[in-house]
């Protein structure tokens, strides 16, 4: 496939984001129009908002041909990403948080290694060398401690599991999604652990990141979910699970048959 034909989908999962959704989408559109060389589409994935978020998402879809709106009846960032990434015709799927905490200049470096075939997944990292992060010390300590927990448990190579700035080849995502059990905040970590467990190539981009003080993340609830998730995944790997189904390559006979049919047409 020629690079100019590649379609990149940017999913923005949202829950009760009526105050910032429209501004964030228009900001992202402007950046993509001015600086992004590939075909793109923005998808707003509303997971059970009870404010005007879904109404705004529908209006954006009606206003811009490159914006799509999806609605789910149940909450969960992972659930929203799973649905959006499953129901897409894009070649590369990605997502970013609606607050645009990560500087958009990092988006092209995020997806380029996937499009060129260098990597299967790419993640923004607030902990990699060169990253510039502005956030409260309490959340900085929690983030670093969580990533150290992952490191001690899995000896993983990636540095930042939960930065809301990730991309993946669509065919790889479609193979990974059935293995991911979590539908909320642990979704990211589980996806990356499964990817490394299956020897997929993960590329890290150090990002410039500014904390959103109006975050919807509940620290205690999320931390409990993460710890349980890590224990579950560790148990799964210990039992020999978490492996991707092998990609079935066509046999010589099947290839010849397809070529014969094409020749007839």
Beta-strand relationship, 208-210 and 132-134: parallel
- Catalytic position from the list 91, 120, 188, 226: 188
Tokens of 256: 């010849």
- Which ranges of 87-218 does DSSP label H, i.e. alpha helix? 107-115, 137-154, 170-176, 187-197
Determine the 3-state secondary structure of 92 from DSSP. Answer: strand
Long-range pairs of 253-256 with CB within 8 A, sequence gap ≥ 24: none
Cβ atoms of residues 209 and 135 within 8 Å: yes
On whether the CB atoms of residues 43 and 70 are closer than 8 A, the answer is: yes
The first and second tokens of residue 150, run together, are: 């992952």
Q: In whole angstroms, give the CA distance from residue 90 to residue 58.
A: 21
Q: How far apart are CA 38 and CA 54, in angstroms?
A: 28
Whether residue 188 lies in the annotated active site: yes
Question: In this structure, are residues 53 and 17 in contact, taking their beta carbons and an 8 Å threshold?
Answer: yes
Residues identified as active-site: 188
């Amino acid at each position: 496939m020629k690079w100019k034909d590649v379609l990149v989908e940017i999913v923005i999962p949202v829950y009760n984001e009526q105050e910032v959704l429209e501004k964030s989408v228009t900001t992202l559109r402007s950046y993509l129009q001015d600086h992004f060389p590939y075909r793109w589409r923005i998808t707003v994935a509303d997971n059970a908002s009870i404010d005007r978020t879904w109404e705004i998402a529908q209006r954006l879809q009606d206003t811009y041909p490159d914006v799509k709106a999806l609605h789910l009846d149940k909450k969960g960032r992972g659930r929203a990403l799973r649905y959006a990434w499953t129901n897409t015709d894009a070649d590369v799927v990605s997502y970013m948080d609606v607050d645009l905490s990560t500087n958009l200049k990092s988006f092209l470096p995020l997806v380029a290694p996937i499009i060129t075939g260098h990597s299967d997944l790419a993640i923004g990292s607030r902990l990699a060398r060169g990253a510039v992060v502005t956030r409260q010390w309490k959340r900085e300590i929690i983030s670093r401690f969580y990533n150290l927990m992952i490191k001690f448990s899995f000896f993983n190579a990636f540095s930042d599991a939960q930065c809301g700035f990730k991309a993946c080849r669509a065919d790889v995502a479609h193979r990974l999604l059935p293995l991911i059990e979590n539908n909320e905040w642990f979704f990211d970590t589980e996806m990356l652990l499964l990817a490394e467990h299956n020897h997929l190539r993960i590329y890290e981009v150090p990002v410039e990141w500014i904390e959103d003080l109006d975050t919807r993340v509940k620290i205690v609830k999320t931390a409990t979910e993460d710890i349980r998730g890590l224990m579950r995944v560790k148990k799964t790997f210990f039992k020999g699970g978490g492996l991707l189904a092998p990609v079935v390559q066509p046999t010589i006979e099947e290839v010849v048959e397809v070529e014969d049919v094409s020749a007839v047409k």
